[in-house]
Structure 1
């Protein structure tokens, strides 16, 4: 497919071109080279048949790719999604239509594969709104002082904590993680090979931290895994004494008491003064478990961006919290097959949904970008309407739809891609 500039073209990547393609994308992202261990993992995870390259004549100047993921959505279903990744164009070839050409070809390919959703994390969020991606999840980072907060311990199973090699413990940790995926929208099933990302620990990427460590919370009677935390420590000191920093990578548990026990452990490691974690859900229980919430320094950032590639299929495949019957008038400047009026109806939780084209009068008007933002329940349609991004035509329709789209559990993407 030829882009707006006649010298640029988009085509599939050949497997033997991977090294040159990856280097072009490194240059597009500022030029730093990945650690060899990281680079090799991305090579293994790349689905070459989903990778695209944009060329100036015969010379690669950009590209993108996608992963064949499965993602949890409200209602507990886990759906196929295209995980868009490695999108970049050399600085010499920006503002010439290359990115638009890549997005056009990729979304056409996603539709051809029968995937109703595409998702991505954005290095620069303003770029992707014009292609229909809506900000659907957020992530919360924390900084906490050791010794200044206690962690409430709710009633629950007794646990035994045990240090383990992160790689040796990985199969059991992955089994526990897999059981949690359907419980929170936005979580991704880990396809074969993706488990390695959680324990990727290239020495050059540690930033002064120790090798990654893993603590397991087990049933003391039978040894069954109930939770785990992966972390690293950066030694430091000041005039007052040891001041190491604990970097928490992952904390997962099957019960609130186990989750609290793991955090109590992380907040009481010797020779440290600070605990940091980069990504947790915005409704993370830790906020309610600590004795002094003022001691938490939170930082909220954007997470996942969602694009409905097939509006009807995507809306039918998720669950709804309450009954609804609304006509959505959707605009979509980039995927015109989605534009029009769609009647969305459901009897509520567990009842399934129907979404069909209609010529009935609209109840709500919105762009596909806002549908993406509300799809996982992280942003309410009512909040988007207060921002002027959703228009209520029929009185009462906004409240009806907003309640139905909502999720009791905040959506969250646990790791990037």
Structure 2
């Protein structure tokens, strides 16, 4: 690397917003690349299982339009990772189509790269038979039957496929599932930057201005130099501090000194954080260690049923006092009524323990009112609806000791009171798979718009 490399990350997730003043402030720092993450497993397996977008097309288009126009004016690339939320092929194609529409509307011509991250089940089963798949955080043994039952299977790419697309002259890159830090670091590594510094910077930048004060989904800029990098927010009313940057360096990390990724580990034990002026922080000391074998993370989701919910409020103090006996009675009635039917029922009682469940330390503290979600998962939507409606109706008219009315136990805010909440998915694969090269399972498609 013979010069500084400046990376602008507009937000923590494409479609979650950024300030126009912050974007202009970031662009004034003359970035060499705009790079942004667009997905996560945090919202659960639904978006992976269905391929539906995490963020609306409206929001993605609104933000991509601003970023692509700014990038084309400056002749710098735009990189989007984990497109659509889970990085499935369907989601990549959806975001790529938005890019084509933007190019057509604004009469732009550039090279678009799409990088796909879905894994064929047979490829995963071959790796399983060769004992090249190991547990990551799944907590269960993978089997071929589980792989076969998986509806959608993706792998997290590292920086290498993105660098390969840059080698081919890509101006805009829409990548499938990718490591967050790799998306941000790829361009700098491609330009010859120290990969340890680049990936560490990527880890801090991937959430946008969450490493600034006050934190937000907003613009953050990283400037890579020979032996360190600087961080500065785009918005003039934010600042990077040693505390905010060091704290975010620990984000989502079990070990504060090790940052693992495809084919490498970043040793952070010698890192230092220095304040430079009021708004900048300089970071030094990250060191990359290549692993002897190259593993990528697999993420798979399978359908387990359909969900219906009913939302209600409870204000009667007598019912609130007896809620711990009323709900089990209702569950027993439903189990008897739907004998032979497979379903899962959960009562989420807000004001008692809905958030913390068994970890709640003040469960017996009396509330003035309770919010109740009746949550039913069954094999089909019709079954889930029938069971949910039966339970909400039974609870509405349920008689309990001390009752002073004949019905109306629940206050429903909506009509209909029972709502279809879609198909339900669970993570069926959350493992690491060995590959022969970083590019092996990530095909790249190039087109000129």
Q: Same fold (TM over 0.5)?
A: no
Which structure's residues are more often strand, by fraction?
1
Q: Where on the TM-score scale, by shorter chain, does this alignment land: which range?
A: under 0.3
Higher Rg: 2
